[in-house]
Amino acid sequence: MAKALITSALPYINGIKHLGNLAGSLLPADIHARHRRQIGDEVLFICATDEHGTPAELAAAEAGLDVATYCRRQHEVQAAIYRRLDLSFDHFGRSSSARNHALTQHFFRRLDERGLIEERVLAQVYSPRDGRFLPDRYVLGRCPHCGFERARGDQCESCTRPLDPVDLLEPRSALSGSTALEIRPSRHLFLRQSALVDDLERWIAGRSGWPALVTSIARKWLDEGIQDRCITRDLAWGVPVPKPGYEGKVFYVWFDAPIAYIAATQDWADADPGRRDWRSWWWQADDVDYVQFLGKDNVPFHAVSFPCTLIGSGEPWKTVDVIKGVNWLTYEGGKFSTSDRRGVFLDQALDLLPADVWRWWLAANAPEGSDTDFSFRRFAADVNHDLADTFGNLVNRILAFLAARYGGIVPDGGVSAAPEQQLAAELDRRLAALRRHHAGPSIRRSAEEVRAIWRLANTYLAGEAPWALLGSDPARAAAVVRTGVNLVALAATVAWPFIPGTAERVLAALGRPAGVPAWPDSAAAALTGVRGGEAVGSLPPLFPKLTPDWAEASRARFAAGQAP
């Protein structure tokens, strides 16, 4: 049994997230956590809302709330949605917690003591109309690298390059829209990342199993030269800087946000201090396998900045083993946009269809090798094929037949023959491949292997046709039906990380115990788990078909700028 620490990129607090956010980090992390639990690993799955920075202040002002109240309410809204999506966090915390404030200040003091913090006077954007400095996202303009017209002062959404507000061309205030901006001096603190390049190089060289996407982004940053990073901002909301002369300033959100992984673990341990020890996961935790899941735009902060904080502290903090970065999910040929309300947001998705339908499609089409485009037409076709026609058909055909011909009692009699032996051998190959893909972790390939197991089960039942054997060879029919029931159990077991709600309904109908369904030791064992004489319940159709009219109506409903 291994210890698996799994974190998902922290969803930002300003509003409900869209399908792209779910596909890029939250769902892959949950699927991996669920599989690790299935194989018997000790798992800690941690996440939190990212609550500091300019977007929180801007969103709170737009909502007419003070920022603390706004963040508290939005955290509750997001947490409720993630519960509906069956995301199995062990703890879903907040980056604004007292624990994260204290831990962020601890890291700063350690870095400062070790000579890795430097004070510099910066030319900052100041807005006379707003009467304040405009940090980060308070400044909008044209990206100097790619020309994107709506780049923010911290990062360009189009080319993902990190920016400072003074880099933007044709800048304007995000508060008032004023272009009458001035450049004034302001004192700030920098993390001397350039002093940690050799340590960072050795650290990255010691990692393995990173996707090519992540490695290429990390190498690009190293090859271009790691720059020192400003870690303070002229804001009121955030973690205060514990240094004389910096009253009224807070830490940059990208300094404190990754630290919240550790702080959220501390909050998790505080809930049961007698049994939970956060240090065993983060402090001298060489026995822990730590995997991060995030979108490609977050890779630089997790492959460079956060490791610099941990390594620079000089303390034995656990650093990530594998960064699982993915590309983007696009929407009907364009980008999802929270600000423009373009795309399908998670509350809307759950009002349309059950969580498992979204979970399956996003996993089966995970944007791992390249960007994936979501369209309602493609979504409907894939859901119909995979969930209704393949998995749903497998479950319903055998359970309905069992109910109609055997009164819902798994039949005794008959013995396994050559078809069952061939089936078991192929299933063993498929299960081994599935476990390798999960270990990768490759979400898309894992889903492909689950689909292949569903197809194999359907092919077996179609070929052996127990309904045609009832009169001529009832013993053989009984053996095939019993195998079919066990195939349903296996199909639901391997599907559980992806569609947990539906898988649990199926397993409950088969009389299997509630909780995490254990990974099968072998196909032979899996095909004999449900025995003759056991009572099995029936289920209605698991997944209704999505019609072309439904797809077109949904596409029109969620057209750009028209999302409800």
564: pLDDT strictly greater than 70: no
Distance between CA atoms of residues 55 and 137, nearest Å = 7
Distance between CA atoms of residues 84 and 544, nearest Å = 20
In this predicted structure, what is the pLDDT of residue 360? 98
Distance between CA atoms of residues 99 and 426, nearest Å = 51
Binding site as annotated, residues: 143, 146, 156, 159, 338
In this predicted structure, what is the pLDDT of residue 429? 98
Question: 563 pLDDT band (50/70/90 cuts)?
Answer: very low
- What is the rounded average pLDDT for all residues in the chain? 94
In this predicted structure, what is the pLDDT of residue 506? 98
Task: Tell me the chain's radius of gyration from C-alpha atoms.
Answer: 26
Tell me: the pLDDT tens digits for 356-387? 999 999 999 999 999 999 999 999 999 999 99
In this predicted structure, what is the pLDDT of residue 259? 98
Please report, for residues 43, 212, 292, the alpha-carbon distance to residue 93 in angstroms, rounded to integers and kept in the order given: 17, 31, 16
- Choose among 75, 41, 30, 35: nearest CA to 356: 30
Distance between CA atoms of residues 43 and 34, nearest Å = 9
What is the DSSP code (8-state) at residue 322? E
Question: 560 pLDDT band (50/70/90 cuts)?
Answer: low
Q: Which CATH superfamily is domain 3-107+252-373 in?
A: HUPs (3.40.50.620)
416: pLDDT strictly greater than 70: yes
Binding site as annotated, residues for Zn(2+): 143, 146, 156, 159
Question: 339 pLDDT band (50/70/90 cuts)?
Answer: low
Mean pLDDT of 348-353: 97
Residues above pLDDT 90, as percent of the chain = 86
Question: 239 pLDDT band (50/70/90 cuts)?
Answer: very high
Tell me: the pLDDT tens digits for 513-538? 999 999 998 999 999 999 999 999 99
Tokens of 102: 């204290």
Q: What is the 3-state secondary structure (H, E, C) of 96-164?
A: CCHHHHHHHHHHHHHHHHCCCEEEEEEEEEEECCCCEECCHHHEEEECCCCCCCCEECCECCCCCCECC
Tell me: the pLDDT tens digits for 19-71? 999 999 999 999 999 999 999 999 999 999 999 988 898 899 889 999 999 99
Distance between CA atoms of residues 533 and 402, nearest Å = 12
Binding site as annotated, residues for ATP: 338
The domains of the chain are located at 3-107+252-373, 117-233, 376-526
pTM over 0.85: yes
Strands 3-8 and 288-295: parallel
In this predicted structure, what is the pLDDT of residue 108? 98
Q: Which CATH class is domain 376-526?
A: mainly alpha
342: pLDDT strictly greater than 90: no
The domain 117-233: what is its CATH number? 2.170.220.10
Tell me: the pLDDT tens digits for 149-182? 989 888 887 887 888 888 999 999 988 999 999 9
